[in-house]
Amino acid sequence: MHVAMIGTGYVGLVSGACFSEFGTDVICVDKDVSKIERLEQGIMPIYEPGLDVLVENNVKAGRLHFTTDLKKGVKDADVVFIAVGTPTRRGDGHADLSYVYAAAEEIAEAMDGFTVIVTKSTVPVGTGREVERIIRAKRPDAEFAVVSNPEFLREGSAIGDFMRPDRVVIGTSNERARAVMSDLYRPLYLIETPIVFTTRETSEMIKYAANTFLAAKITFINEIADLCEKVGADVHDVARGIGLDGRIGKKFLHPGPGYGGSCFPKDTLALVRTAQEHNSPLRIIETVVAVNDSRKKAMADRIIAACGGSVEGKTIGILGLAFKPNTDDMRDSPSLDVVPALVAAGANVRAYDPEAMEEAAKLLDGLTFCEGAFETIEGADAMVILTEWNEFRGLNLKRVKAALKSPVVVDLRNVYEPREMKENGFEYSCIGRGTIGGN
């Protein structure tokens, strides 16, 4: 079995490397010459734990290859994955499918023999049909099938998610393609991974429904957290108390500064637009989008309030800039709202992130990047935890206290225990852990 992976972004590169780890011959294709050159030298374009070793081992074993030549990659492939970007289109919030369709055109010219073309990028319902139309128009007699196979991996734990998924979803009504896809995912049968075979449209819908549901779950607990603060309840116990109900489930009930990243913001918006166009509005998701946007903006106000109502001339030490730990991804990160708002309010912002500072420097102005947590908070009027990297979870509190000019800690990821922080003399604020009464 030969696989060609078009696009070496997060999904493409991780999926390609993981398929090769399963023993499949994989060629990853990207137009970006320097990216491919760097990959050939073992330099990863993204930070993802374990990816460099996985790539190196499989390149050495002769199973993983890189090229800028799409035709060469596709010619011998039995399965061609389209894993190119689908960013939000400017102006209307729709997914921009121009890269997907351009890839389809090129694949059509290059494919040889029965080929299964798989959309792995998150694409709106109906995209598979359009990809098929494009290829059929170019190659009326070719034998091929267009399949939907969405990817559910999370950044930061992408390899584990790919190797041990909760499920694999495959959308096709073509029996030959179904057999090829079954074969490709055979290694997962060993660990009894459920494989959901369905139609292409349903498969495309599953991906959006999953991501929008999870975004709604996070937004729900965030609003419950705000209410907990007002009524003196603890959102962590609420999350545990409801999450133990199997119908609700305990995951994705951690409150925070609002979801970010490459998927949830883009996919919620895209599904809202699709729904509006079909005159079947998703009012819950429309609200989720609006609530999450305003939440990210409101985080700066929380910090300002914790600093006594003004940050003018004050120094704020921010720990974490990436949208989540174990990634250098800054896309739609809450820090992109928080930092400019603090700078605009006259704060002197210092920040540190273990991996995302290079990316952050391209997107944020007016702040000072530091080398580590303690350098960031030295002499600061407040310490703010914006991303829950492990190295911020067990900071020596005595040292933190000594470093800060005033003992204000704003923990937007609820990493620390309110009681312990108070006992250590901090003015500590977090999310949704109300202290009224405290009984």
Active site residues: 263
**Shortest approach of ligand UDX to residue 212 CB, angstroms?**
11
Query: Hunting for tokens 């003018």 — which residue is that?
Result: 312
Rg, C-alpha atoms of the chain: 24
434 binds ligand UDX (CB under 6 A): no
Closest CA to 271 of 150, 101, 122, 82: 122
**Cβ 293 to ligand UDX shortest distance, Å:** 13
Site for ligand UDX in 306-325 (CB under 6 A): 323-324
The contact mask relative to ligand UDX for 318-357 (x = CB under 6 A, - = no) is -----xx---------------------------------
CB of 6 to ligand UDX, least distance (A): 18
Q: Of 73 and 325, which has the nearer Cβ to ligand UDX?
A: 325
Compute the least distance from the CB of residue 329 to ligand UDX, in Å: 8
Estimate to the nearest angstrom the gap between the alpha carbon of 177 and the chain centroid: 29
Choice from 213, 252, 369, 374 touching ligand UDX (CB under 6 A): 252
Q: 7 near 70, Cβ under 8 Å?
A: no
Joined together, the tokens standing for residue 321 give 């800039």
Q: Is 153 in the site for ligand UDX (CB under 6 A)?
A: yes
Residue nearest to ligand UDX (CB): 263
Among residues 264, 352, 416, 426, the one that binds ligand UDX under rule CB under 6 A: 264
Q: With binding defined as CB under 6 A, does residue 260 bind ligand UDX? A: yes
The widest CA-to-CA distance across the chain, in whole angstroms, is: 75
Does 154 participate in binding ligand UDX (rule CB under 6 A)?
Answer: yes
φ/ψ (deg, to 5) at 171:
-110, 105
Q: What is the DSSP string of 322-339?
A: SSSTT----TT-THHHHH
C-beta of 12 vs 260, nearer to ligand UDX: 260
- In angstroms, the CA 80 to CA 116 distance is 6
Q: CB–CB of 415/393 below 8 Å?
A: yes
Cα gap 311→135, rounded to integer Å: 58
Of 326, 268, 294, 248, the C-alpha closest to 48 is: 326
CB of 254 vs ligand UDX, minimal distance in Å: 3
263 binds ligand UDX (CB under 6 A): yes
Residue 253 near ligand UDX by CB under 6 A: yes
| Closer Cβ to ligand UDX, 206 or 403, answer by number | 206
415 forms part of the interface with ligand UDX (CB under 6 A) = no
Binding-site member from 18, 111, 145, 218 for ligand UDX (CB under 6 A): 218
Selected range binding ligand UDX among 32-40, 97-105, 260-268, 307-315, rule: CB under 6 A: 260-268
Name the one range near ligand UDX by CB under 6 A: 73-81, 148-156, 171-179, 342-350: 148-156
Per DSSP bridges, beta strands 427-429 and 408-411 are parallel
Sign of CA dihedral 47, 49, 50, 51: negative
State the distance between the two ends of the chain, measured CA to CA, in whole angstroms.
63
Query: For residue 262, what are the contacts with CB-CB under 8 A and spacing of at least 6?
Result: 10, 155, 329, 331, 332
Cα 85 from Cα 276, distance rounded (Å):
23
Query: Which C-beta is closer to ligand UDX: that of 229 or that of 381?
Result: 229
Which residues bind to ligand UDX, rule: CB under 6 A? 151-155, 211, 214, 218, 252-254, 256, 259-264, 323-324
